[in-house]
Chains A and B, each alone.
Chain A
Amino acid sequence: MLAYIGRRILGMIPTLFIVSVITFIIIQLPPGDFFTTRAIEAAMSGGGQDKETVKTMQERYGLDKPLYVQYWRWVSGFPRGDFGYSLEWNSPVLPIVLQRMGYTLQVGGLSLLFMVAVAIPIGIYSATHQYSFGDHALSLIGFLGLSLPGFLLALLWMFLGIIVLRIPVGGEISKGMADQPWNLAKILDYLNHLWPPAVILGLASTAQLQRIMRGNLLDVMGQQFITTARAKGLKEKKVVNKYGVRAAINPLISVMAMEIPKIISESTIVGIVMSVPTTGPLLLRALLTQDMYLAGTFLLFMTLLLMIANLLADIALAWADPRIVYT
Chain B
Amino acid sequence: MHKRQISRREFLRLSALTAAGAVLAGCKQSATTTEPAKETVAAPPTEEAQPTAVPAVKYSEAPMLAGMGLPPVEERLPEKPLVVQPVESLGEYGGTWHRAFLGVADFHALGRLIYEAVLRWPRDPKDPIQPGLAESWEWSEDGKALTLYFRKGLKWSDGAPFTVDDVIFWWEDIENDTNITASRHIEWVVNGEPMQLEKIDDVTIKLKFAGPNGLAETTGLAFHGCQWPLGFERFGFFAPKHYLTKFHPKYTTGATYEQFEEKAFNFNTELPVMYAWKVSQWEAGATEMVAERNPYYWKVDPAGKQLPYIDRIHYALVESGDALNLKAIAGELDMQHRRISFSQYTVYQENAEAGNYHLLIWPTAQASTITLFPNQSYPDPKYRELLQNLKFRQALSLAIDRNMINEVSFLGQAIPRNTTVVRDSPLFQPDIEQYYAEYDTAKAQALLEEIGLKKGSDGFYQFSDGTTIELVIEGTDAVSGANMDALELVTQNWNDIGLKTVLETMSRDIYWPRANSNEVMIATWETDRGLVPMVDPIYQFPFDERSWMAPAFGTWYKSGGEKGEEPIPIFKEVQELYNQYKVTVDAAKQIEIGKQIVRKATENLFCIGTVGQPPSLVVVKNNFHNVMEKHTSDWIIFTPGTMDPPQFWIEQ
Query: Could you tell me which A residues sit within 8 Å of B by CB distance?
Result: 30-32, 36-53, 55-56, 60-61, 85-86, 88-92, 95-97, 99-100, 158, 162-163, 166, 168, 170-172, 175-176, 178-179, 271-275, 277, 281-282, 284-285, 289
Contacts and interface: CB of A to CB of B under 8 A. Distances in A.
Interface of B: 96, 98, 103-105, 108, 178-183, 232-234, 257-258, 261-262, 265, 267, 283-288, 290, 314, 316-320, 322-323, 326-327, 329-330, 332, 351, 354, 478-479, 507-510, 512-513, 528-529, 536, 538, 544-546, 634-636
A290 B509 CA distance: 11
A56 B257 CA distance: 11
B355 to A, nearest CB: 9
B188 to A, nearest CB: 15
Given A56-B178, A90-B265, A179-B96, 17 more contacts: A39-B512, A56-B180, A90-B261, A90-B262, A91-B284, A96-B285, A158-B326, A166-B330, A171-B327, A178-B314, A178-B316, A179-B314, A271-B319, A273-B320, A273-B322, A275-B318, A281-B319
A158 B287 CA distance: 19
Contact of A86 (B108, B284, B536): B284
A61 B329 CA distance: 41
Contacts of A52: 182-183
11 contacts: A39-B512, A44-B479, A53-B181, A56-B178, A56-B179, A91-B284, A95-B283, A166-B330, A178-B288, A272-B319, A289-B105
Contact of A90 (B104, B318, B332, B538): B104
For chain B, what secondary structure do more than half of its interface residues adopt (helix, strand, loop), or is it mixed?
Answer: loop
B287 A89 contact: no
Contacts of A178: 288, 314, 316
Can you list the 6 inter-chain pairs with the closest CB atoms, starting with the nearest?
A91-B284, A52-B182, A96-B285, A281-B319, A46-B635, A89-B284
Contacts of B544: 50
Contacts of B96: 176, 179
A92 B284 CA distance: 9
A92 B259 CA distance: 12
A255 B265 CA distance: 48
A170 B327 contact: yes
Given A38-B232, A46-B529, A46-B636, A172 B287 contact: yes
Contacts of A168: 330, 332
B182 A56 contact: yes
Contact of B234 (A31, A53, A90, A170): A53
A306 B332 CA distance: 37
A275 B319 contact: yes
A285 B103 contact: yes
Contacts of A271: 319
Nearest to A61: B258
B509 A31 contact: yes
Given A52-B182, A166-B354, A31 B510 contact: yes
A65 B316 CA distance: 37
B182 A53 contact: yes
B536 A45 contact: no
A38 B285 contact: no
Contacts of B290: 179
Contacts of B351: 163
Nearest to B323: A275
Given A43-B546, A48-B536, A36 B182 contact: no
A176 B332 CA distance: 10
B284 A95 contact: yes
A55 B182 contact: yes
B98 A90 contact: no
A82 to B, nearest CB: 14
Contact of A49 (B108, B234, B285, B545): B234
Contacts of A40: 508-509, 512
Nearest to B178: A56
A48 B544 CA distance: 11
Nearest to A291: B105
Contacts of A97: 285
Contacts of B265: 90
Contact of A273 (B234, B262, B323): B323
Nearest to B365: A46
For B96, B509, B510, the residue with the greatest tally of chain A CB atoms inside 10 Å of its CB is B509
A296 to B, nearest CB: 16
A171 B318 contact: yes
A49 B316 CA distance: 28
Contacts of B507: 30-31
Contact of B513 (A32, A85, A273): A32
A24 B512 CA distance: 24
Contacts of A100: 285
Contacts of A39: 512
A30 B508 CA distance: 11
Contacts of A284: 319
A68 B288 CA distance: 36
Contacts of B183: 50, 52-53
Nearest to B322: A273
A97 B323 CA distance: 22
A156 to B, nearest CB: 13
B285 A47 contact: no
Contacts of A91: 283-285
B234 A175 contact: no
A52 B179 CA distance: 11
B513 A162 contact: no
A158 B329 CA distance: 12
A183 B354 CA distance: 29
A47 B287 contact: no
Contact of B233 (A47, A85, A89, A282): A47
A42 B351 CA distance: 32
A274 B318 CA distance: 9
A32 B509 contact: yes
Given A86-B284, A90-B104, A44 B478 contact: yes
Contacts of A166: 330, 354
A175 B98 contact: yes
Given A42-B233, A46-B529, A88 B103 contact: yes
A90 B287 contact: no
Contacts of A42: 232-233
For B103, B479, B529, B538, the residue with the greatest tally of chain A CB atoms inside 10 Å of its CB is B103
For B326, B354, B513, the residue with the greatest tally of chain A CB atoms inside 10 Å of its CB is B326
A95 B285 contact: yes
B448 to A, nearest CB: 34
A89 B508 CA distance: 22
For A36, A47, A85, A163, the residue with the greatest tally of chain B CB atoms inside 10 Å of its CB is A47
